[in-house]
Structure 1
Amino acid sequence: MRTWVLLIAALWSLVRVGPQRSSLLNKKGFVYGTVGHPVKIYVKLRQNSPFLICMDFGRASKETVDPTYLWIGPNEKALTGNNRISVTNTGQLMVKDFLEALSGLYTCTLSYKTIKAETQEETIIKKRYDFMIFVNPFAPGWKTACNVSVDCEDITNHNILQARDRIEEFFRSQANILSHHINRSVPAMHFVDHSFQVVRMDSCRPGFGKNEGLHSNCASCCVVCSPGTFSPDVDVTCQICISVHSYGAKSCP
C-alpha cells in the first residue's frame, strides 16, 4: 500500500478485495464460483477467509438434484474438515487463521443430476470452480486504528497527516513563545509556514509485494509472493527465484 510517512516510516499493509470478488460476495460473506474463471480472494493474515461456495450464483438459484462436492487444496489433496479447514455438507469451505503457506489454488468440483421429464433419464453434470486465495499482511495494532466500516489505509493516512499538522502547529507556537515571552538570551527560533513536509512511502513486508499484472483487481495490495518469487526486505516487488516452491518466501535458497 502507499501511505504518508512522518518522521519515521510506518509500514501498514492491509487487505483489499477486487471488483470481481465484490460482485460475487454477498452480505453474508459468501463468495460464489465462476465456471472457467478463477475467483481471486485476498485475506488478512491470521483471519478467516470468507465462505467459498462450490457453485455459481446462477446455479444456486435453481434446484440442484443430489449434489456432491469435492474440494482440492493447494497441495492437490482432497480437503476434509479439521481445525484449520471448515467444509460443510452444502459445499461451503472456509480456511481459518489464514497464513502465507495456505495461499494458492482451491478447487471444487460440483456433481449433480439432471432428469429428463419425458424419459426420466438421469445425467450426471460436473462443474469446476477455482478460487485463488492470497494473504495480505497487516501491521500490529490495526484493530485499534480501524473498524469494519472504514478503509484502514484512508484512516491511517488521515491520522498521519493530522500528526503533521499538530507538529507544525507546535513549532509555530514555540517560535511565537520564544519571540515574545522568553528571556532574550534564548536563541531566536523562526518557523516558516508550510515548511514541514511529509513524503509518501510505498513498501511491503518481507515475503510480500505488489504485482499489477497478476493482481490487477487489487493493484495497491501487498500480496504474498507466489512460488518462484521472494522478497527479503520491505520492497514493493517480489524478485524472481526459480528454486522457491512456496508462498511468502523471504529468501532465495
Structure 2
Amino acid sequence: MRAWVLLSAVLWYLTGAGWQRSSERTGKGLIYGKPGHPVKIYVKLHHSSPILACMDFKRAKKETVDPTYSWIGPNEKPLTENNQINITKTGKLKMEDFQEALSGLYTCTLSYKTVKAETQEETVVKQRYDFMIFVNPFAPGWKGACNDSADCEDITNHNILQARDRIEEFFRSQAYIYYHDFNKTIPAMHFVDHSFQVVRMDSCRPGFGKNEGLHSNCASCCVVCSPGTFSPDVDVTCQSCVSIRVYGAKSCT
C-alpha cells in the first residue's frame, strides 16, 4: 500500500490490485485456468474473490461431455461449501470475506469424455488447473476513514489531494492579503505556485509485505506473507522464518 504524508497527517492509498489482467479474464468477470501454469490472483482483504472457472478459455468455447469438477484447497483437502466458499454445479468457485487464512494454492481437476467418431469409443480426459490466491489488504483504519466503502482507496486519494490543493490555496491567499491589504507594513510574503509537495511513503500492515520477484505482476502491492515468512510491523518486506506454516504471520513462532 502507499501512504501520502501531508504535514503531520498521514492518509493511505492502496493500489487497486484485483486479479491478474490477462487473457484468463473475460468480460463476464470469470478467471479461467491455464494448463501447466498457475494463475496468480490478488484479492482485497474482506472482499469477495473473482469467480474462478474450473476450465481454460479454449475449452470453454468447446462442447464438454459429462464434465465433473473437483476443487482442492490450500490445506490439500477437498473444498466444501460454507458461508465463505461457494462452488457451483458448473465448477465455478467464489469466496466471500476473503481473509489471510484463505490464501494459497487452489487446484481444480476437470474430468470429461471424448468420443471417437469412427468407433464411438469413449475416453475420460482429466485436466488440472492451479490458482494462487493472495490477499492485498486495506490500510489500517480504512473502515473509520471510509465508512465501510468499497471504494476506500479512491476516497482517501481524493481527500489527500483535495487537502493539498486547499493548503496551497491558503498560502497563496495569505501572500496576496499580506501584500495588498497591510500597506506593506510587514515583510512581503511570497508563494511559488505548485511548490507545495506531498511525499509518498510505502508501508505494509503486519503480516504483509512486497516481493517484486514473486509478485512481478503486482510489484507495488502489499501481499500476505507466504508460509516460511513473517512481518511483525509496518515494514515492506516479509522476513524468513522456516517454522511458519501459515499465511499472514506476524511473528516467528
Normalising by the smaller structure, the TM-score range is 0.7 to 0.9
Q: What is the CA-CA distance between 1:146 and the residue it aligns to?
A: 3.6
Partner residue in 1 for 2:33? 33
Distance in 1 of aligned mates of 2:5 and 2:132? 32
Q: Provide the TM-score with structure 1 as the length reference.
A: 0.87
Relative to 1, partners in 2 of residues 1:136 and 1:239: Cα closer, same or farther, differing over 3 Å? Answer: same
Partner residue in 2 for 1:234? 234
Q: The residue matched to 2:52 in structure 1 has which SS? A: strand
Q: What is the CA-CA distance between 1:188 and the residue it aligns to?
A: 5.5
Query: In the TM superposition, what whole-angstrom CA distance separates every residue of 1:151-180 from its partner, at most 9, and x where no partner exists?
Result: x46x75554334223202212323443455
Partner residue in 1 for 2:189? 190
Relative to 1, partners in 2 of residues 1:246 and 1:15: Cα closer, same or farther, differing over 3 Å? Answer: farther
RMSD, matched Cα: 2.5
Count residues with an aligned counterpart: 246
Q: Return the letter of the residue paired with 1:59.
A: R
Q: What is the CA-CA distance between 1:106 and the residue it aligns to?
A: 0.3
Q: What is the CA-CA distance between 1:137 and the residue it aligns to?
A: 0.8
Q: What is the CA-CA distance between 1:183 and the residue it aligns to?
A: 10
Q: What is the CA-CA distance between 1:251 and the residue it aligns to?
A: 1.5
Q: Provide the TM-score with structure 2 as the length reference.
A: 0.87
Q: The residue matched to 2:35 in structure 1 has which SS? A: coil
Query: In the TM superposition, what whole-angstrom CA distance separates every residue of 1:118-177 from its partner, at most 9, and x where no partner exists?
Result: 112111111000000111111412865948xxxx46x75554334223202212323443
Relative to 1, partners in 2 of residues 1:144 and 1:184: Cα closer, same or farther, differing over 3 Å? Answer: farther
Query: In the TM superposition, what whole-angstrom CA distance separates every residue of 1:78-134 from its partner, at most 9, and x where no partner exists?
Result: 012221110111110111110011000000011111111111211111100000011
Matched-pair identity in %: 70
Partner residue in 2 for 1:69? 69
Distance in 1 of aligned mates of 2:210 and 2:147? 20
Distance in 1 of aligned mates of 2:197 and 2:34? 47
Distance in 2 of aligned mates of 1:206 and 1:12? 17
Q: Return the letter of the residue paired with 1:221.
A: C
Relative to 1, partners in 2 of residues 1:43 and 1:170: Cα closer, same or farther, differing over 3 Å? Answer: same
Q: Return the letter of the residue paired with 2:103.
A: S
Q: The residue matched to 2:22 in structure 1 has which SS? A: helix
Q: The residue matched to 1:9 in structure 2 has which SS? A: strand
Partner residue in 1 for 2:203? 203
Are residue 23 (structure 1) and residue 23 (structure 2) matched?
A: yes
Distance in 2 of aligned mates of 1:204 and 1:165? 27
Q: Return the letter of the residue paired with 1:91.
A: G
List structure 1 segments (4+ residues) > 6 angstroms apart after TM superposition.
none
Q: Return the letter of the residue paired with 2:245.
A: H
Partner residue in 1 for 2:52? 52
Where does structure 2 lack aligned partners over 5 or more consecutive residues?
A: none
Partner residue in 2 for 1:115? 115
Distance in 2 of aligned mates of 1:73 and 1:40? 15
